[in-house]
Amino acid sequence: MANMKHADKYKRGYYMPPYECLDWAKKEYIDHAPSWCSVDLRDGNQALIIPMSLDEKLEFYKKLLEIGFKEIEIGFPAASETEYEFCRTLIEKNMIPKDVRIQVLTQSREHIIKKTFEAIKGCDNAIVHLYNSTSVAQREQVFRKSKEEIIEIAVSGAKLCKQYREEFGENNIIFEYSPESFTGTEPEFALEIVNAVLDVWQPTKEKPVIINLPVTVEMSLPHVYASQIEYMCKNMKYRENVIVSLHPHNDRGCGVADSELGLLAGADRIEGTCFGNGERTGNVDIVTLALNMYTHGVDPQLDFSDMPSLVEVYERVTRMKVNMRSPYAGSLVFAAFSGSHQDAIAKGMKWREEKDPAHWTVPYLPLDPKDVGREYDGDVIRINSQSGKGGIGFLLQKQYGYTLPKKMAEDFGYAVKSVSDHKHAELQPAEIYDIFKARYLNKKQPCEVTEAHYVQNKDDTITAKVTATLSETGKTVYRESDGNGRLNAVANALKDALGIDFVLETYEEHALERHSNSEAVSYISIVRDGKTYWGAGRHSDIIVSGVRALVSAINNSYNTEY
């Protein structure tokens, strides 16, 4: 019997716009990148058990610049000395590029606003982010104030920001306002308070205002948020001079969806963290959001081409971990263990190479791993007991140059899966190659051909003069036999020397590398007593490699465990 019997105590705390706002639903995809603001150093830092030190924040800040963020919320300078010191360090050491704005957060309280302006004094480019909470729950339960009183808090804060900007002579500062807890605020009231703030700040084309509409707590399905954003965008004053920003959290696991639908609804800007780190379940994951656009052919204007480096810095300075299945960045997101997936990927890669190298449509891989600094061999095809012949053969070919015949790849696949199953572990490429060599390559027991000479007969047949060593008896034997080719003649000589019968069924060969002194590899299967045995040979001489493959297959026919 289910134990969760109290669903009726929850009520929906969000509000739809007063009329239908569904123009966003007619759009197919996001056709251009928004402006981005990283809040890793503020919102993300607040979520850490051990907040970052000054040196750690500086290192992460430099990485964010490297990625291409032009707006970075660096902290809440009035909240602590570390936050204040970090802000002053960036300014006094000239660490803010000319095309980058730092953003600082402040509550709508005079002493906090004043401290914030002191922190950014002398900064060439800054955003002062003012906020106060507006939701029904916050108004009734926390502040116990009327709508008019909540508006007054916002308006008085907006006036103080304008006053201190003038007093400090920092006319290059732009303002941002957030009706915090927007998702629990009636849209009509959110619009009223936003417009009241805009009337104070009077945005212009030269000095726009950012209006941030946060998902402070996720309360609804994403389409509700999109409708709320569309309503605000359609009815906001000074809209042509307002940058509408989104700051989604992830309480319902829909932060990315909220952001994507919000952008369709008219928003211009996203605030988030690189890997979704933030309070409670986190902020929107900018890596996922940006690369979702990228896989639709849209340049996100952020550079995640060295994802391993970003993950390393993030995990070290935050002491958080990027989940191995996190989209695009996790250690296993490109990994295919399933045999059918591996086969599809291997065939898709080959099709792309032959048919359409300019485009990426490989099954099961929405993103080319190389675009984020990952490799096909170590990151895509991973081998365990669930793997199939396609993936195992793909890895052997990419890493070591061996292209196995289809039936041999199947035989090898079973051998590899058996080893993985027995070890109960993933196998690394070197281990797989070791299995290949031990099972097939240049095997010398119980038989080895040490010498072979060939005579071309008048009827176009070949006579092979073979010297073979039989390790079981320690004898060296000499045989001479005819055949319709060198390999056939050697096979007939070995049948005679060993006293066995078999049928040479398959022969394939190729160069291991494409240059004049490359080695050749040959693959041969024989049928003996109704069972097929495979062997491989490698040598600079294609004839010798074929003989070695034949001998390896014969030797495998003596192996009771084959």
Contact criterion met (CB below 8 Å) for 412 and 436: yes
Q: Does the reported pTM lie above 0.95?
A: no
Residue with tokens 């993933």: 426
In angstroms, the Cα distances linking 351 to 356, 357, 363, 392 are 7, 9, 11, 18
* CB-based contact 267:32 (threshold 8 Å): no
Class of domain 35-318: alpha beta
> What's the order of all strands across the beta sheet hosting 531-539?
503-511, 520-528, 531-539
How far apart, in whole angstroms, are the C-alpha atoms of residue 186 and residue 475? 95
Choosing among 3.30.565.10, 1.20.1250.20, 3.40.50.300, 3.30.160.270, the CATH entry for 447-556 is 3.30.160.270
Model pLDDT, residue 501 = 95
**What are the tens digits of pLDDT across the range 282-324?**
999 999 999 999 999 999 999 999 999 999 999 999 999 999 9
- CATH 3.30.160.270 maps onto the chain at 447-556
Q: What is the pLDDT of residue 377?
A: 67
Using CA atoms, how far apart are residues 136 and 188, in angstroms rounded to an integer?
A: 12
Q: How far apart are CA 65 and CA 42, in angstroms?
A: 15
User: Residue 235 has what pLDDT?
Assistant: 98
Q: In b/e form, how buried is each residue of 409-439, taking b as 16+ CB within 10 angstroms?
A: bbbbbebbbebbeeeeeebebebbbebbeeb
Q: What is the pLDDT of residue 458?
A: 85
Look up residue 520 and give its amino acid. Answer: A
Query: SS in 3 state form for 266-322?
Result: CCCEEEEECCCCCCCCCECEHHHHHHHHHCCCCCCCCCCCCHHHHHHHHHHHHCCCC
Report the C-alpha gap between 261 and 267 in whole angstroms: 9
Give the model's pLDDT for residue 352.
Answer: 94
Predicted pLDDT at 420? 86
Would you give per-residue pLDDT tens digits along the chain (562 residues)?
A: 567 888 889 988 999 999 999 999 999 999 999 999 999 999 999 999 999 999 999 999 999 999 999 999 999 999 888 899 999 999 999 999 999 999 999 999 999 999 999 999 999 899 999 999 999 999 999 999 999 999 999 999 999 999 999 998 877 899 999 999 999 999 999 999 999 999 999 999 999 999 999 999 999 999 999 999 999 999 999 999 999 999 999 999 999 999 999 999 999 999 999 999 999 999 999 999 999 999 999 999 999 999 999 999 999 999 999 999 999 999 989 887 777 887 888 889 989 999 999 999 999 999 999 999 998 766 776 777 677 667 788 888 888 999 999 999 999 989 988 888 888 888 888 999 999 999 999 999 899 999 989 999 888 888 888 888 877 667 899 999 998 889 999 999 999 989 999 999 999 999 987 555 679 999 999 999 999 999 999 999 999 999 999 999 999 999 887 8
CA distance 494 to 467: 10
* The pLDDT value given to residue 215: 97
- The candidate with the shortest Cα–Cα distance to 44, out of 66, 63, 24, 27, is 63
Q: Provide CATH 3.20.20.70 ranges for the chain.
A: 35-318
pLDDT of 515 reads: 52
- Partnered with residue 383 across adjacent β-strands are 427
